[in-house]
């Protein structure tokens, strides 16, 4: 909680399959052997720990796991979720035709807003409309009440999946940036950090780029004692990285290079005039470290002197002239240097 992670989110398969709804009330029913006391008791317990309660449904007859979902039941389900104390709803699709989504996601957004409880609405609609971000109606998603949305493929616990998502955002960041901001965010999917399926350098790259791109930080690892290494814990609890991610200006960052290159510069404008920069060693062959150089002017810094703060090391590495720029030396393979730039008075 001290670092800002405050929600406990439960995904698919919490529902009872048969009967799919309470025969008297029509409400969704939690699976009784796993949740014998019901969801209201679970929600109260989570709140007693000063955490928020996240739950899952879908805008389709069944969820992706084949459990009862919310199509044609938005009003009732939203009131049910509110009565259980739900604070965050992930609403998946799971209907490959997508014919219902235009109506369903709007209906659920309205129902959640009318439920009597302030519930964050996570929409998966964009993820079911293809990978071309330039054709997606983000203004419509916002108007329908979506606070965040999944755009792309589900992340898998390996580097190929993680790097594919990074490259997707690199290709479309200029299209996506205008529709990101306070109250409505592009969700790049869960953090793999702490699962042991990518290297520590790759974990740092995910944390840096999720922060630059203003993606929600949603941990997807086992939080039980001893399950997360100290190195991974340090990445997840890096206050300087979290401050970039949670910057109140809420402006999503960009990749400087418009096409994929072996070394890349990603940057984000921050609320106090600072700029966050991630220098990413994106090599696809070999495993060599790389020196990565960028010019301050290219990321919007035009003052004569610039202080460079290293987010991974938690310290200033010096003041540099604008003309000279900055070089991060020996950035690890698939790793990143993560910096905060400030005008030096």
Assigned token pair, 136: 């997606």
Token digits of residue 284: 């696809």
For 254-343, the fitting CATH number among 2.10.240.10, 2.60.40.1180, 2.70.150.10, 3.40.50.2300 is 2.60.40.1180
Task: Classify the phi-psi angles of 295: left when phi > 0, otherwise alpha if psi is within -120 to 50, otherwise beta.
Answer: beta
In eight-state DSSP terms, residue 290 is E
% of the chain at pLDDT higher than 90: 95
- pTM for this one? 0.97
CA 263/CA 258 separation, integer angstroms: 12
Which residue, among 61, 67, 115, 127, has the nearest Cα to 89 in the 3D structure?
Answer: 115
Q: Sketch the domain layout of the chain as residue ranges.
A: 7-245, 254-343
Mention every residue, 6+ apart, whose C-beta is less than 8 A from residue 243. Answer: none
- Give the pLDDT confidence score for residue 97 in this predicted structure: 85
Region 23-30 average pLDDT:
97
* 83 within 8 A of 91, measured Cβ to Cβ: no
So which residues are the catalytic ones?
92, 154
| Residue ranges in the chain assigned as alpha helix (H) | 38-48, 74-83, 101-113, 138-143, 159-176, 200-212, 230-236, 239-245
Q: Provide the pLDDT for residue 344.
A: 85
- With beta carbons less than 8 A apart as the criterion, state whether 264 and 257 touch: yes
The pLDDT of residue 285 is 85
For residue 140, name the pLDDT band (cuts at 50, 70, 90).
very high
When the candidates are 3.40.50.2300, 2.30.110.10, 3.20.20.70, 2.40.50.140, the CATH number that belongs to 7-245 is: 3.20.20.70
- On whether the CB atoms of residues 21 and 29 are closer than 8 A, the answer is yes
CA 175-176-177 angle, to 5 degrees, is 100
**Per-residue pLDDT band at 286 (split at 50, 70, 90):** confident
CA atoms within 13 A on the CB side of 316: 9
Q: What pLDDT is stored for residue 164 in this prediction?
A: 98
Would you place residue 38 in the very low, low, confident or very high pLDDT band (cuts 50, 70, 90)? very high
Reported as a single tens digit per residue, the pLDDT across 178-236 is 999 999 999 999 999 999 999 999 999 999 999 999 999 999 999 899 999 999 999 99
């Amino acid at each position: 909680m001290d670092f800002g992670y405050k929600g406990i989110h439960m995904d698919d398969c919490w529902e009872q399959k048969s009967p799919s709804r309470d025969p008297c009330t029509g409400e969704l029913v939690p699976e009784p052997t796993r949740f014998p006391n019901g969801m209201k008791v679970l929600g109260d317990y989570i709140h007693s720990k000063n955490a928020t309660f996240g739950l899952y449904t879908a805008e389709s007859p069944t969820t992706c796991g084949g459990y009862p979902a919310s199509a044609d039941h938005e009003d009732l389900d939203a009131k049910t979720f509110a009565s259980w104390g739900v604070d965050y709803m992930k609403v998946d699709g799971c209907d490959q035709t997508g014919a219902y989504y235009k109506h369903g996601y709007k209906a659920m957004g309205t129902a959640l807003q009318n439920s009597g409880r302030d519930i964050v609405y996570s929409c998966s609609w964009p993820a079911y409309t293809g990978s071309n971000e330039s054709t997606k109606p983000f203004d419509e998603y916002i108007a329908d009440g979506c606070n965040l949305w999944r755009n792309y493929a589900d992340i898998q616990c390996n580097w190929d999946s993680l790097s594919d998502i990074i490259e997707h955002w690199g290709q479309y960041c200029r299209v996506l940036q205008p529709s990101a901001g306070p109250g409505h965010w592009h969700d790049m999917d869960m953090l793999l950090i702490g699962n042991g399926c990518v290297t520590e350098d790759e974990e740092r790259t995910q944390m840096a780029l999720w922060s630059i791109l203003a993606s929600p930080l949603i941990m997807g690892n086992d939080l039980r004692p001893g399950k997360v290494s100290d190195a991974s814990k340090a990445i997840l609890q890096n206050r300087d990285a979290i401050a970039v991610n949670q910057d109140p200006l809420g402006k999503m960052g960009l990749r400087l290079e418009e096409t994929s290159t072996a070394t890349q510069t990603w940057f984000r404008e921050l609320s106090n005039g600072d700029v966050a920069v991630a220098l990413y060693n994106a090599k696809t062959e070999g495993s060599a470290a790389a020196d990565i150089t960028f010019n301050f002017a290219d990321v919007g810094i035009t003052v004569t002197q610039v202080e460079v703060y290293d987010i991974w090391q938690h310290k200033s590495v010096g003041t540099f002239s604008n003309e000279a720029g900055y070089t991060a030396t020996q950035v690890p393979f698939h790793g990143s240097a993560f910096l905060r730039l400030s005008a030096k008075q």
